Amino acid sequence: MMTVEPPLVLVTREPDGPGLELAINFGVFAGREATAAELDELGNMLRTEVDQVAVVSEHRHELEGGTEISVHQVKVQLPPDELPSDEFELGELAGRLSNVAEGWARACFADRQIEIPA
């Protein structure tokens, strides 16, 4: 049976929210939360691509019926005025930011990872 691994970085555009948001499934892969120093490092790495960025650490609990899910995500949010108006340029920027975020996350995992019991 083949298992499907969730994506490491998801990119979304929200008309009523930030102009562009990247959700990094940090806890799923690392088994822990990102540290403050790691979040600062991500922000500084992203500043090579954009002037203004928000890095948010989110611990979320979802409860439904007899199921409880706890997820730690790191979100990167860019305001609409940071985004190029050209769709191709926007796609290029999103790709560069995704690559930076994925590289950062993988370096964090290699540094320190907690095994999640099955």
pLDDT over 60 (residue 118) = no
Q: Which of these, 76, 84, 85, 94, lies nearest to 38 by C-alpha position?
A: 76
For residue 94, give the 3-state DSSP assignment. helix
Residue 100: C-alpha distances to residues 56, 112, 115 (Å): 16, 19, 24
* Residue 70 pLDDT: 82
| Residue 39, CA distances (Å) to 55, 62, 72, 93 in order | 7, 24, 13, 20
Domains along the chain with CATH numbers: 9-111 (3.30.70)
Taking residues 46-72, report their average pLDDT. 90
Percent of the chain with pLDDT over 90: 54
Q: What is the pLDDT of residues 78-90, one digit of tens each?
A: 999 889 989 999 9
